[in-house]
Structure 1
Amino acid sequence: MNKASNIAAASNSNAAQELVRAMRPRQWVKNVFVFAAIAFSEDRLWQFWGPAGPAPILRMIGAFIAFCLAASAIYLVNDLVDIEKDRAHPKKRHRPFASGRLSPSVGIIAAGILIACAMPLAFALDPSMAFLGVLVTYVLVQGFLYTYWLKNVVIFDILVLATGFVLRAVGGAAVLAIHITPWLLLCMLLLALFLGIGKRRHELTLLEQGAGEHRLILQEYSVPMLDQMMSIVTASIIMAYSITAFLAPVAPQEPYPMLMVTIPFVIYAIFRYLYLIYQRGEGGAPDELILKDWPLATSVLVWGLTVLGVLLFFPN
């Protein structure tokens, strides 16, 4: 009995570990974009920590958690739909469902539980239901339209993924009922396109002639085409962010727009990412890349600290 109980316990522990892995907690870093609403809103930073205490900040953290729950549910559904295709991929075949280490039924149940937790949390954070509406839109677009249809439509497959970043920023604004500059949304969209194009390029170069067998949509792309798109988006990001920094209503404008000091960090981070894509063949997992490449991670961290310092120590 003891031996059988130990085997069952070990099996349950392994299943739990594989489930957590399938939920892709490393990709939760994408959800930090919900906090962008604070830095680039039309309201001062310290207004979010007033006499009532840190409640607004806690709501932002709650919004981050809600997006993490919803995103993990979408990852589970996406892996279940692509289980056969992932088995033909040199890296994705090691994923829990594709490798057979995790039962599909466990994934279905877990995805349902995650959604069932995310939606009530969204309503509790914002009874006006604005944030709930954003989260529902995110699930419908990313979890259903993309998974079952748009990921097989050329160009739209990249654009739809990019909208996920925009919805995160909008969700962060909705949960606090604040307005954010439209330039920030454009920056989010362009950054997401930048990462998405880099990921498609990595898949093409990794799979080479077998790319279409893994994912039919890859047959519609070529490396030269993606390189052209990358060039356009790279220049657009730098210009859009520069305008965002110059015009941000929350930042001091005298004697000059103070947020312009953050532009060099953005340029370095973009160029560093291009270096990793073109010289080191990276880019397949942007969320992991930013965590393991210390120059890239440092540039992002310094950018964030500089933005925070400008907003806190230079009154508008």
Structure 2
Amino acid sequence: MGTAGSLLRLARPKQWTKNGFVLAGVLFAEKMFSPPHVFDALLTFLAFCLLSGAVYAFNDVLDVEEDRKHPLKRFRPVASGEVPVPAAVVYSVVLVAAGLALCFYVNAGVGAAGLAYLALQAVYTPFLKHMAILDVMSISAGFVIRALAGVAAVNSPISPWLIVCTGLLTLFLGFSKRRHELATLGDGAVVHRKNLRDYSVPLLDEMMNIMISATIIAYTLYTFTVYERQDEIFMMASIPFVVYGD
């Protein structure tokens, strides 16, 4: 694979769909039919793709020795030697600079969200990702920051429902992922992720049930508030689809 391809793979483009939560801010701000606002939200999405790519690249630098011993991770660009460590560091810095520049280009609120995202990752990578429960809560916080960046992009007041619904849904998804890892990896789960030793399937089942129930309740209450304010019954009509999807 060429250098350009290796650098792109280092930024994990397959993970960029997570930044789609930026667009949740547009939905909750009810600006999804305003082209200028949608354009700013898309710029914010691109900015967070750059920032998250920088984080993935730098994490690969920090974990290079462990990755080289892993049966699958040893094929990652840095661990395999496709991208030298110094080049990966420079690449990460460039992505951070470009991502933050784009954030502040949209507006200062998006810039602040970008800085908050990087600050969270700076704590998550060396500390929080090794702690059960806190690791999932940190991942959820990252999604909430993305959604808040979307709200900032369209210059709308922050909706508490955005924070609640995004937080609860991503907590459910995070605990679901941990359960999947435990169930599918078996005895090799701890090798894949060390803090899985502190989880159990019954615990994760309980957490998932709590989070999905709370998510449905929160979303239902949100749709009722929209209906009361704007007489928009179509939001209430979406409730069965949300319940079925969950």
Please give the TM-score of this superposition, normalised by the length of structure 1. 0.71
Identify the residue that residue 261 of structure 1 maps to in structure 2.
237
Which blocks of at least 5 consecutive residues in structure 1 are unaligned? Answer: 1-12, 271-316
Query: Following TM superposition, by how much is the alpha carbon of 1:221 offset from its aligned partner in structure 2, in angstroms?
Result: 0.8
CA distance in 2, matches of 1:59, 1:192: 24
Identify the residue that residue 177 of structure 1 maps to in structure 2.
155
CA distance in 2, matches of 1:88, 1:188: 36
**2:210 pairs with 1:229:** no
CA distance in 2, matches of 1:140, 1:70: 11
Which range is displaced more, 29-38 or 161-170?
29-38
Identify the residue that residue 24 of structure 2 maps to in structure 1.
36
CA distance in 1, matches of 2:72, 2:224: 42
What is the DSSP-based 3-state SS (H/G/I as helix, E as strand, rest coil) of the residue aligned with 1:98? coil
Provide closer, same or farther for how the CA distance between residues 138 and 165 of structure 1 changes in structure 2, counting only shifts above 3 A.
Answer: same
CA distance in 1, matches of 2:185, 2:32: 46
CA distance in 2, matches of 1:248, 1:225: 35
Q: For residues 236-287 of structure 1, give each alpha carbon's deviation from its aligned partner in whole angstroms, at most 9, with x where no partner exists.
A: 1111111122223697436xx32121122222222xxxxxxxxxxxxxxxxx
| Contact 1:40-1:250 within 8 A present in 2 as well | no
**2:126 pairs with 1:138:** no
Which aligned pairs between 1:230-309 and structure 2 lie closer than 5 A?
Answer: 230-248=208-226, 252-253=230-231, 257-270=233-246
CA distance in 2, matches of 1:18, 1:63: 25
CA distance in 2, matches of 1:124, 1:83: 34
Identify the residue that residue 154 of structure 1 maps to in structure 2.
132
Counterpart residue identity of residue 258, structure 1? F
Counterpart residue identity of residue 27, structure 1? Q
Identify the residue that residue 85 of structure 2 maps to in structure 1.
104
Same amino acid, percent of matched pairs: 40
| Contact 1:85-1:215 within 8 A present in 2 as well | no
Query: Following TM superposition, by how much is the alpha carbon of 1:64 offset from its aligned partner in structure 2, in angstroms?
Result: 1.0
Query: Following TM superposition, by how much is the alpha carbon of 1:72 offset from its aligned partner in structure 2, in angstroms?
Result: 0.5
CA distance in 2, matches of 1:93, 1:250: 55
Which entry has the higher C-alpha Rg, 1 or 2? 1
Identify the residue that residue 27 of structure 1 maps to in structure 2.
15
Please give the TM-score of this superposition, normalised by the length of structure 2. 0.90
Provide closer, same or farther for how the CA distance between residues 151 and 17 of structure 1 changes in structure 2, counting only shifts above 3 A.
Answer: same
Counterpart residue identity of residue 110, structure 2? F
CA distance in 2, matches of 1:44, 1:79: 37
Identify the residue that residue 17 of structure 1 maps to in structure 2.
5
Counterpart residue identity of residue 127, structure 2? W
Query: Following TM superposition, by how much is the alpha carbon of 1:34 offset from its aligned partner in structure 2, in angstroms?
Result: 1.4
CA distance in 1, matches of 2:44, 2:155: 13
What is the DSSP-based 3-state SS (H/G/I as helix, E as strand, rest coil) of the residue aligned with 2:2? helix
| RMSD over equivalenced CA pairs, Å | 2.2
Which blocks of at least 5 consecutive residues in structure 2 are unaligned? Answer: none
**2:38 pairs with 1:60:** no
